[in-house]
Chains A and B, each alone.
Chain A
Amino acid sequence: MTLRPRTFVEKAIERASGKTGLVPGDIVDVTPDVYMSHTASWRCIRTFEKLEGAKILHPERVAMVMDHIAPARTSVIAAYHRLCRGFAKEQGIENFFDVNAGICHLVLMENGLVRPGEIIIGTDSHSTIYGALGALGTGVGFSEITAAWVTGVIWMRVPPSIKINLTGKLRPGVFVKDIMLKIIGDLTADGATYCAIEFDGELTADLSISERMTLCNLAMEMGAKNAYVRPDKKTFDYLSEAGVDFPEEDALFPDEGAEYMRIVDVEVSDLEPQVSCPPLVDNVKSISDIAGTPIDQVFIGSCANGKYDDLVIAAGYLKGKKVADGVRLLITPGSREVMKKVADNGVLSTLIEAGALITNPGCGACAGDGGAMDDGEVTLSTANRNFSGRMGSYKSDIYLASPATAAVSAIAGVITNPEGESK
């Protein structure tokens, strides 16, 4: 019997469930390869403690990262961090990353814990980002992580897949963030609910791993279960740099002729920078419609755009310039590794000289940890969410854009198109 052609997600779920012939809508138990929990790990632990006689089946599959509120701002948080630290030690969880490590997703990938074809569940909705390395990453609740500790399994519904073909060449000043904002605006915030997304097309193949992370991270903002980019030489090079000797034949690729519920072709050559306007991520406008809007704060960071090359791009525009009077520019490197790289090569000095406030690596202002706004204030952010009240007052506004748009806007004090700006 020949198998019908399958999408990536169908193959990954079949492999992790030991079943074949699955179709979208089927619900099966799968064995995830990594269970990631962030600062919410304390909730997983509290739940675990209620299960009498329970033990962690595979401590080597557990990863904990203290990233959302780090370092502790209050004694309550300090107690939660301490609980997690102690629990990791006592349970033999080696992949425990403390408050100095950075954002969970970047930390996991930098440490070689995400591999092609694997299933990674995380207590963070942006776990879709692991698709940048050809893995199936998806967000779950903390009870599910606890259940996975104890049972080694989690239920999954086989999702239908949407294929997004990216073609063309981006104009200078236009970035992958702009592509994704455009797609989110077109497909809407629930346009991919419970669906898998496969990114394909010549442009996707040209993108760096960091750019693929931005793609897959933001797929969540359309409600997607997971996102995927086909692994290639760049993927395997990234893995070996992370210390992983990955046998290429273990990667999973969609079959020719697999069924997609929708195929979306996106030609980017004429795309201009995009801005997601308050109060919803899919309220996306071209920059020419929104340029000139005054801002009080700029945030460059997050798992969408707090990576090394994001800071390098921002520094390119900020070099020798000053942040506008009265504008706060907050920059939060995504991880300790990112921080070290920008410190080593002088990018950090460029950012500081321009007037940026550099915070410790982690989620920072994106998770409401610092950078709060008063009523009526406006932030331009490189993060992935702009719901009212996410950064302080419910009556403040958040606009989302690329690191380039963020940098030139910080200099001008108003939302500004980076195209044609010197760098």
Chain B
Amino acid sequence: MSKYVFEGKSWKVGDFIPTDQIIKSRRVYQSIDKAAKYVFEDINPRFGQEVQKGDILVAGKHFGQSSGRAVAVKALIATGVSCIVAESFSRTFYRNAFEIGLPILEVSGVHDAVEEGDRISVDVLGGVFCNERTGEKLEGKPIDPFLIEMIEAGGVIAMAPKLVGRTT
């Protein structure tokens, strides 16, 4: 399975990062590409400036908590990160990621297994994480088949026509 397998340079953020700190509310009323420059502006100002297409974000517990603003997911996609691997995600961030089309994987122990800058690989559907520098492998939490169908369709909007009439 080669789809949704990513390899890249890692960036790290900590536990309990709220969407407000992914992208501030005052930054969201501009184009998403402009807003992307301000992702994590308070917690890591280098990120928005230096992140490269294909980089992978590693987060701690309950990533994307607080406000359910889906624009946090959009802004992260616009930074070029290919996927996010975290100890756990908040409920709204988890939903939004699949609905907008950002591959994510929950992997217990991942935060300690990575030093920022390590090359890592993530097989999202297979649920496998690997730190290429240390060789450490960890298993991710399986993703529900319905969510895989959604992300493969390109998100909830792409899938919407298929859903019409599924329930009255």
Q: State the A residues within 8 Å of B (CB).
A: 17-18, 27, 29-31, 40, 43, 47, 50-51, 54, 57, 68, 74, 76-77, 80, 123-125, 139-144, 146-147, 150-153, 155, 157, 189-190, 193-194, 223, 225, 280, 367-368, 385, 387-390, 394
Contacts and interface: CB of A to CB of B under 8 A. Distances in A.
B16 A76 contact: no
Contact of B16 (A68, A139, A190): A190
Contact of B160 (A27, A76, A151): A151
A385 B155 contact: no
B168 interface: yes
Nearest to A141: B70
A152 B42 contact: no
Contacts of A155: 146, 150
7 contacts: A47-B157, A125-B92, A141-B69, A157-B144, A190-B61, A190-B88, A193-B91
Contact of B95 (A124, A140, A385): A140
B12 interface: no
A43 B32 CA distance: 12
A189 B21 contact: no
A47 to B, nearest CB: 6
Contacts of B99: 141, 143-144, 147
Nearest to B159: A147
Interface stretch (B22-30, B76-84, B107-115, B128-136): B22-30
Interface size class of B (residues with CB under 8 A): 35 or more
B66 A387 contact: yes
A364 to B, nearest CB: 13
Given A368-B25, A368-B26, A280 B62 contact: no
B54 interface: no
Contacts of B91: 193-194, 223, 225
A57 B168 CA distance: 11
Interface of B: 16, 18, 20-21, 24-26, 29-30, 42, 61-62, 65-71, 73, 88, 90-92, 94-96, 99-100, 144, 146, 150, 155-157, 159-161, 163-164, 166-168
A47 B88 CA distance: 28
Given A40-B69, A125-B66, A193 B90 contact: yes
Nearest to A384: B66
Contacts of B61: 190
A189 B166 contact: no
A80 B71 CA distance: 16
Contact of A17 (B67, B160, B167): B167
A29 B166 contact: yes
Nearest to B71: A43
Given A143-B99, A368-B25, A223 B167 contact: no
Contacts of A389: 20-21, 24, 42
Given A40-B69, A150-B160, A189-B65, A390 B20 contact: yes
Most buried by A among B66, B71, B100: B66
A153 B61 CA distance: 30
A188 to B, nearest CB: 9
A205 to B, nearest CB: 28
A132 B6 CA distance: 44
B163 A140 contact: no
Given A190-B90, A225-B91, 18 more contacts: A17-B167, A18-B168, A29-B167, A76-B29, A123-B68, A124-B67, A139-B92, A140-B92, A141-B68, A143-B100, A150-B164, A152-B164, A193-B90, A368-B26, A385-B18, A385-B67, A387-B21, A389-B20
B71 A223 contact: no
Given A50-B157, A190-B61, A140 B68 contact: yes
Contacts of A30: 167
A141 B96 contact: yes
Given A74-B29, A189-B65, A18 B167 contact: yes
A367 B18 CA distance: 14
Contacts of B160: 51, 54, 146-147, 150-151
Contact of A141 (B62, B100, B163): B100
Contact of A387 (B18, B88, B90): B18
Contacts of A54: 160
B92 A394 contact: no
Contacts of B94: 194
A225 B25 CA distance: 23
B167 A31 contact: yes
Contacts of A50: 157
Contacts of A387: 18, 20-21, 66
Going nearest first, the 6 A-B pairs with the smallest beta carbon separation are A141-B70, A190-B62, A394-B42, A141-B96, A125-B68, A139-B68
A27 B96 CA distance: 16
Contacts of B96: 141, 143
A141 B146 CA distance: 18
